[in-house]
Chains A and B, each alone.
Chain A
Amino acid sequence: MNEVAILGVAMHPWGKIKDKSVPELNLEVAQKALKDAGLEWKDIQFVVAGSDPWSGVDGLLAGCRLSQKIGNNGIPVVNVYNACATGGYALKTAQAYINSGFCDYVLVVAASISPSGFFGVTTVGREDDPNDLDSQRFRILGLTNPTGFAFMATYRMHHYGMTENDLALVKVKNSKFGALNPLARFKKPFTVEDVLKSPMVTYPLRLYELCATSDGAAAIVLSSMKAAKKHTRKPVRLASVGIATPKYPDPRSGGYGLDIASDSGDLEFANGMGVRAAYNAYEEAGIGPEDLDLAEVYDLSSAFELGWYEEIGLCKRGEAEKLLREGVTGMGGRMPVNTSGGCASFGEAIPAQAMAQVCELTWQMRGASGARQVEGVKVGFSVNAGKQGNCSATVVKK
């Protein structure tokens, strides 16, 4: 058993945060999570921080800057960045260090202040550099992230009969949950008509079916199960963390549709690494998809949410639309998905987003999710995927 205890969680509300920097956000959520855990900073023996790619060296050395702000105490600080799966990789690092016996108490933390609009290239230099594949995908292909996301949508429309109405329904479903989450950035419950009236960004995806670029911060305090006994009788458990990277010949090894070319022409298993991350998490926790009570899946676009239903085993290939239309994954459904409101209600604060998923699962397990609480939940699951094919998944148990 690799399980560790989730002693404390905290999030800063998501939005466009104008008055705080990444170090300030990390300080705020770290202190809140420590308080939630009933611990003090001096109890923490190890820090894993998600780096923010948009905040310069302060963002890259996020954990070090936090340590400097809260009081350097000489402990190891690891700064990690694995795109949208950063939080998952940070949790995996923490879990591995705890289970190796290296430490008992770990603070995992991440914050992001991101630019608005399309994410562009972050490289600098000659735009005709053949080794700078990100520049070439913008320059030669005009391929923004949402356009890459749209490939899955036209694929699903052709092969599985997904409709523009289904895409809107995902947003409607997630916005219903998000309206009940005080931490969400977008709290308006949308109707299908609202969504279908929003501008077409990249056919068939409309503005409200795409994840916004957001700012936010999250912190999680983990401990060994043994150490947790000193603080609580029955902690919520991080039962497993599955991570995966692309494996030749995964067709989309640079991430969802963002490659110039693939090593394989097979789109069907476009998200092989996402599937592997999910099943690594199931295997480590000793469970399967049939054991889940709820899930947080990475809805960078409405189409992705549907893809995940199949990739994490909630249904067979081509059956996700049916699950959505029948309300199985909605509020009051048998298998609620994205009770936090998902990226549809939060946008994405890249390094903190996978941690936000785990915060939601923790509150659900504690019965502390307020109006969006799902009754009787015991096993939760989260999964995400990001640039360069970085993927992570977790199982959280009551």
Chain B
Amino acid sequence: MSDQNAQKKQVPAIQGWFTMPPQEPHIIASKCSLCKGYFFPPAQVCRNPNCKKDGAMESVMLGNKGKLEAWSVNYFSPPPPYHAPDPFVPFGVGMVSLPEGISITGQISSGYDEKNLEVGMDMDVVIEKLYEDSQGNDVMAWKFKPAHR
């Protein structure tokens, strides 16, 4: 048992979509060198139809402070591949606009009382555990946490 714990790792839900601890928490997007558009999830080709598309797609860390645009609380377990805890625990989901002008959806940080969520709130990007995989690793991804700024 203690051996397993010793081997327990944090693994990203998707490699390259966000930074991993102990780095500062950031979502990683693509930025087109020509039209300066930001794209998440990272894009191989610029998704602006009016762009010439022969520019380089640069990997950039998005600002990690944003505003809550809309939100909800899930009271029933989503179907797989959502990995639901047993018993199921309701959780918040929110859309947060980041300083680069794109908005990203994510779960609300575990342990926050969703009843206090409000459109327009300041939110921080955090990297948290989503679930434990079959090897006992913590699968990590971005979530949003209400900030006090």
Whether, in the assembled complex, A97 has its beta carbon less than 8 Å from a beta carbon of chain B, the answer is no
A residues 91-147 in Cβ contact with B at 8 Å: 117-118, 120-121, 127-128, 130, 133, 135-144, 147
Point out the residues of chain B lying under 8 angstroms from A260, CB to CB.
40-41, 104-105
For B53-75 the 0/1 string (1 means CB < 8 A from A) is 00000000000000001111111
Of A25-33, A187-195, A200-208, A225-233, the stretch lying at the interface with chain B is A200-208
Whether, in the assembled complex, A220 has its beta carbon less than 8 Å from a beta carbon of chain B, the answer is no
**Structural contact, B72 and A150, CB atoms closer than 8 A:** yes
Known: A118-B78, A130-B41. A140 touches B104 (CB 8 A): no
Known: A201-B76, A260-B105. A140 touches B130 (CB 8 A): yes
Closest to B117 in A: A154
Number of B interface residues at 8 Å Cβ cutoff, please give it: 46
The CA-CA distance from A142 to B75 in the complex, in Å, is 11
**Structural contact, B80 and A138, CB atoms closer than 8 A:** yes
**Structural contact, B102 and A142, CB atoms closer than 8 A:** no
For B24-49 the 0/1 string (1 means CB < 8 A from A) is 00000000000001011100000111
Chain B contact residues: helix, strand, loop or mixed: loop
The CA-CA distance from A140 to B104 in the complex, in Å, is 12
Closest to A144 in B: B78
Point out the residues of chain A lying under 8 angstroms from B136, CB to CB.
none
Within 8 Å by CB of A139, from B13, B41, B93, lies B13
For B85-114 the 0/1 string (1 means CB < 8 A from A) is 000000101010110011111110000001
For A138-175 the 0/1 string (1 means CB < 8 A from B) is 11111110010011111101110000000000000000
The CA-CA distance from A393 to B105 in the complex, in Å, is 29
Whether, in the assembled complex, B83 has its beta carbon less than 8 Å from a beta carbon of chain A, the answer is yes
Within 8 Å by CB of A203, from B72, B97, B107, lies B72
Chain B interface (Cβ within 8 Å of chain A)? 13-17, 37, 39-41, 47-50, 69-76, 78-83, 91, 93, 95, 97-98, 101-107, 114, 118-120, 130, 141-142
Closest 5 pairs between A and B when the two form their complex, measured CB to CB:
A150-B72, A120-B79, A265-B97, A158-B119, A151-B70
